[in-house]
């Protein structure tokens, strides 16, 4: 589990530091009170290769009288995970606390002869590496022993042990991991089929729906907590983030555990909490099951992820950009650059606004990135782009993101051409000499931003010296006259803003600048 900090990282490995000597006792913690009937039913379901599910009455209740029946039904598929790894120890005395040299604490402890303080005789020699243990949670997704957890639970481990609800333990091996979504897939070899649960559709989870979190918080053994879906589509720090937020209590050690709906389906994998102190304050995050299930399928089949790759750089469409383009809605993803790749081969251009992908509308860049990543590499997909003359449908054969990403230009400020003041900026034509000084291609055309009036709209939109304007009104600009012509055309069309393409440090982006009156 990650804590977002102030956001302490709620990693399972951090638990070894927090719980410390409590680890051995945690392994002997009592298991849930699962009735013999429930255990027998779970094993029969496993033998028949059927997932565990909630009692039929649970889904019809607005507010359950109790979660006990649901816990009894799905608990046999929830596991505790113990990992161990050899870690290097800092230099210093055996068993002594470590403080920075020169701090008041180091002086105090040295005066009292506490071992381990810098500057003491005999101290400073390397300490022997030691084995460190950590705890986490997970859940079984197939009768033949596949288990899902968080990547940070098992990252760096050289031994992984799975403890089942019955108390039985089995060693596990790593099938594959995906740090981008913090998902890991493990496998155990069991002589008998294992009770398992299945993924639900996280897109159907509504804010206010009841959810149940199961796991191994703080090494205390099996534990259940309930709450509601507090929010959907939360983005924390990753490219593919799609978290359900919940107020169900989850803490360190809950990492990798399942978040169930009332039907007994996994709608999320408990991954992180927002906390000022490392403990639950009712803001937890579970990676949505629709993201996890796609990753798990790929890890199961290939041992790695194989995400689709469109081959474009994009940005969100802002209201002023929509006005400048004459778009009816402020949705879609604006294409800022099309390097060599699938999109360029299909005829996509910088300035296109992607409005539909694989038959579904594109709301913003985040939704597009997720949908492209989930699409299979090597297969064609229909992409609808909006241009000034109307929508165009392109057929793009997606590449594979993991192997096909490229790098961009790296322009820097420079040049000595005479500048002219336009739209709050001092601009000069990019010459071959300037391009060479800035590390650009010699045939690159555009206008170099020399200065920006701090009180101008250009400054407010983030333009800065060294930026290069290569397009205006979705047409190339190679001179001041070109830019002035685009400004005139914008005013004549009755639009308030001109869309310009700006390149900075190899990254292109569109900016809508107000053109004002004649």
- Is the distance from CB of 439 to CB of 411 less than 8 angstroms? yes
Predicted confidence (pLDDT) at residue 372 exceeds the cutoff of 80: yes
**According to the model, what pLDDT value does residue 167 have?**
87
- Is the distance from CB of 475 to CB of 508 less than 8 angstroms? no
Mapped to the 3 state alphabet, what secondary structure does 21-71 carry? CHHHHHHCCCCCCCCHHHHHHHHHHHHCCCCCCCCCCHHHCCCCCCCHHHH
Distance CA(110)–CA(117), nearest Å, equals 6
**According to the model, what pLDDT value does residue 53 have?**
76
What is the torsion angle, in degrees rounded to the nearest 10, for the CA atoms of residue 202, residue 205, residue 210 and residue 211? 10
Q: Per residue in 453-483, pLDDT tens?
A: 888 888 888 888 888 898 888 888 888 888 8
Q: Which of 76-90, 115-129, 131-145, 357-371 has the lowest mean pLDDT?
A: 115-129
**According to the model, what pLDDT value does residue 440 have?**
75
With vertex at residue 15, the alpha carbon angle to CA 195 and CA 228, rounded to the nearest 5 degrees, is 55
Average pLDDT over residues 122-138: 68
3-state secondary structure of 195: coil
Same domain (yes/no): 428, 358:
no
Distance CA(85)–CA(13), nearest Å, equals 10
- Is the distance from CB of 120 to CB of 223 less than 8 angstroms? no
Helices (H), 76-211: 104-111, 151-154
- Write out the binding residues for substrate: 152, 182, 253-255
Average pLDDT over residues 201-205: 93
**According to the model, what pLDDT value does residue 394 have?**
95
Q: Per residue in 393-405, pLDDT tens?
A: 999 999 988 776 4
Q: Per residue in 57-95, pLDDT tens?
A: 545 456 778 899 999 999 999 999 999 877 655 544 444
Same domain (yes/no): 142, 177:
yes
Beta-carbon contacts of 34 under 8 Å, excluding residues fewer than 6 positions away, are 42, 72, 75, 76, 165
Q: Tell me, yes or no, whether 298 lies in a domain.
A: yes
Predicted confidence (pLDDT) at residue 21 exceeds the cutoff of 80: no
Same domain (yes/no): 347, 445:
no
**According to the model, what pLDDT value does residue 27 have?**
43
**According to the model, what pLDDT value does residue 55 have?**
66
Top pLDDT among 130 and 65 is at 65
With vertex at residue 497, the alpha carbon angle to CA 493 and CA 502, rounded to the nearest 5 degrees, is 125
What is the torsion angle, in degrees rounded to the nearest 10, for the CA atoms of residue 350, residue 352, residue 353 and residue 358? -110
228 bridge partner residues = 210
Q: Tell me, yes or no, whether 489 lies in a domain.
A: yes
Helices (H), 238-307: 289-302
Top pLDDT among 245 and 34 is at 245
Show the beta-strand stretches assigned E in 52-201.
78-87, 130-140, 146-150, 159-163, 169-171, 173-178, 183-187
Q: Which of 110-114, 242-246, 439-443, 494-498 reaches the highest mean pLDDT?
A: 242-246
Same domain (yes/no): 380, 488:
no
The structural domain count of the chain equals 3
Q: How many CB atoms lie within 10 A of CB 273?
A: 27
- Write out the binding residues: 152, 182, 253-255
Distance CA(128)–CA(117), nearest Å, equals 17
Could you tell me whether strands 333-337 and 183-187 are parallel, antiparallel, or unpaired per DSSP bridges?
unpaired
Q: Which of 47-61, 321-335, 497-511 has the lowest mean pLDDT?
A: 47-61
Q: Tell me, yes or no, whether 26 lies in a domain.
A: no
Top pLDDT among 478 and 15 is at 478
Same domain (yes/no): 176, 250:
yes
Same domain (yes/no): 360, 461:
no
Predicted confidence (pLDDT) at residue 263 exceeds the cutoff of 90: yes
**According to the model, what pLDDT value does residue 339 have?**
85
Q: What is the DSSP letter of 236?
A: -
Q: Per residue in 314-352, pLDDT tens?
A: 888 888 888 877 777 788 899 988 888 899 999 999 889
Distance CA(311)–CA(303), nearest Å, equals 24
Distance CA(2)–CA(243), nearest Å, equals 13
Predicted confidence (pLDDT) at residue 199 exceeds the cutoff of 80: yes
Predicted confidence (pLDDT) at residue 237 exceeds the cutoff of 90: no
- What CATH number is given to the structural domain containing 377? 2.30.42.10
Predicted confidence (pLDDT) at residue 487 exceeds the cutoff of 50: yes
Q: Per residue in 23-38, pLDDT tens?
A: 333 444 445 567 777 7
Distance CA(515)–CA(496), nearest Å, equals 6
Q: Residue 212 belongs to what domain range?
A: 68-85+130-305
Q: Tell me, yes or no, whether 470 lies in a domain.
A: yes
Q: Tell me, yes or no, whether 236 lies in a domain.
A: yes
- What CATH number is given to the structural domain containing 281? 2.40.10.120
Distance CA(402)–CA(185), nearest Å, equals 19
**According to the model, what pLDDT value does residue 508 have?**
86
**According to the model, what pLDDT value does residue 404 have?**
67
pTM score = 0.65
Q: Tell me, yes or no, whether 427 lies in a domain.
A: yes
**According to the model, what pLDDT value does residue 442 have?**
62
Among candidate residues 305, 325, 352, the one where a domain is terminated:
305
Q: Tell me, yes or no, whether 90 lies in a domain.
A: no
Catalytic residues: 152, 182, 255
Nearest-Å Rg of the Cα atoms of the chain is 29
Same domain (yes/no): 166, 269:
yes
Among candidate residues 305, 326, 347, the one where a domain is terminated:
305
- Is the distance from CB of 248 to CB of 225 less than 8 angstroms? yes
**According to the model, what pLDDT value does residue 127 have?**
56
Share of the chain above pLDDT 70, in %: 78
Distance CA(167)–CA(31), nearest Å, equals 7
Same domain (yes/no): 198, 321:
no
**According to the model, what pLDDT value does residue 2 have?**
65
Task: Tell me the pLDDT of the chain averaged across its residues.
Answer: 79
Same domain (yes/no): 161, 75:
yes
Average pLDDT over residues 277-285: 81
Q: Tell me, yes or no, whether 20 lies in a domain.
A: no
3-state secondary structure of 300: helix
Average pLDDT over residues 128-147: 85
Average pLDDT over residues 224-243: 85
Share of the chain above pLDDT 90, in %: 32
Same domain (yes/no): 361, 294:
no
Distance CA(474)–CA(374), nearest Å, equals 30
Give the number of C-alpha atoms closer than 13 A to the C-alpha of residue 392, restricted to the C-beta side.
Answer: 15
Assigned token pair, 203? 């897109």
Same domain (yes/no): 297, 157:
yes
Average pLDDT over residues 144-172: 92
Distance CA(358)–CA(383), nearest Å, equals 6
Among candidate residues 400, 431, 464, the one where a domain is terminated:
400
- Is the distance from CB of 110 to CB of 153 less than 8 angstroms? no
Same domain (yes/no): 194, 333:
no
Taking the CA atoms of 469, 474, 478 and 480 in sequence, report the sign of the dihedral they define: negative
Taking the CA atoms of 121, 126, 131 and 137 in sequence, report the sign of the dihedral they define: positive
pLDDT band at 98 (very low <50, low <70, confident <90, very high): very low
């Amino acid at each position: 589990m990650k804590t977002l900090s102030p956001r302490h990282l709620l990693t399972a490995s951090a638990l070894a530091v927090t719980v410390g000597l409590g680890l051995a006792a945690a392994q002997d913690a009592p298991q849930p009170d699962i009735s013999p009937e429930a255990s027998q039913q779970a094993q029969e379901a496993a033998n028949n290769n059927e997932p565990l599910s909630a009692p039929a009455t649970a889904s019809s209740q607005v507010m359950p009288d109790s979660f006990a029946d649901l816990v009894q039904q799905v608990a046999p598929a929830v596991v505790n995970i113990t990992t161990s790894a050899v870690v290097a120890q800092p230099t210093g005395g055996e068993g002594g606390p470590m403080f920075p040299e020169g701090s008041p604490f180091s002086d105090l402890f040295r005066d009292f002869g506490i071992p381990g303080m810098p500057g003491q005789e005999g101290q400073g020699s390397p300490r022997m590496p030691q084995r460190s243990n950590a705890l986490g949670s997970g859940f079984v997704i197939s009768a033949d022993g596949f288990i899902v957890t968080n990547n940070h639970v098992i990252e760096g481990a050289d031994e992984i042990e799975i403890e089942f609800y019955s108390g039985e333990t089995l060693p596990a091996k790593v099938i594959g991991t995906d740090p981008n979504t913090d998902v890991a897939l493990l496998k155990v070899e069991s002589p008998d089929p294992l009770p398992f649960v299945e993924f639900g559709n996280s897109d159907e989870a509504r804010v206010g729906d009841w959810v149940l979190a199961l796991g191994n918080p703080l090494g205390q053994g099996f534990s259940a907590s309930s709450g509601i879906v507090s929010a959907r589509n939360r983005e924390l720090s990753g490219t593919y983030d799609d978290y359900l937020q919940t107020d169900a209590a989850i803490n360190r050690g809950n990492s990798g555990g399942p978040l169930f709906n009332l039907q007994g389906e996994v709608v999320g994998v408990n991954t992180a909490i927002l906390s000022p102190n490392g403990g639950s304050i009712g803001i937890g995050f579970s990676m949505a099951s629709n993201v996890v299930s796609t990753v798990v399928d790929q890890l199961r089949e290939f041992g790695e992820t194989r995400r689709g790759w469109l081959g474009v750089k994009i940005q969100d469409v802002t209201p002023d950009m929509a006005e400048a383009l004459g778009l009816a809605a402020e949705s879609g993803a604006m294409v800022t650059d099309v390097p060599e790749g699938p999109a360029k081969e299909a005829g996509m251009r910088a300035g296109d606004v992607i409005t539909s992908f694989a038959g579904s509308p594109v709301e913003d860049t985040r939704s597009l990135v997720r949908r492209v990543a989930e699409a299979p590499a090597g297969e064609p997909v229909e992409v609808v782009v909006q241009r000034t003359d109307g929508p165009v449908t392109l057929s793009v054969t997606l590449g594979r993101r993991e192997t096909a990403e490229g790098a961009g230009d790296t322009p820097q400020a420079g040049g000595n051409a005479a500048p002219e003041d336009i739209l709050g900026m001092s601009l000069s034509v990019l010459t071959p000499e300037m391009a060479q000084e800035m590390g650009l291609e010699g045939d690159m055309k555009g206008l170099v931003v020399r200065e920006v009036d701090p009180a101008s709209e250009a400054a407010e939109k983030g333009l800065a010296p060294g930026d290069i304007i290569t397009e205006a009104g979705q047409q190339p600009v190679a001179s001041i006259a070109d830019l002035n012509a685009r400004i005139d055309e914008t005013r004549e069309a009755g639009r308030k803003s001109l869309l310009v393409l700006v390149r900075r440090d190899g990254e292109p982006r569109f900016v809508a600048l107000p053109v004002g009156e004649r």
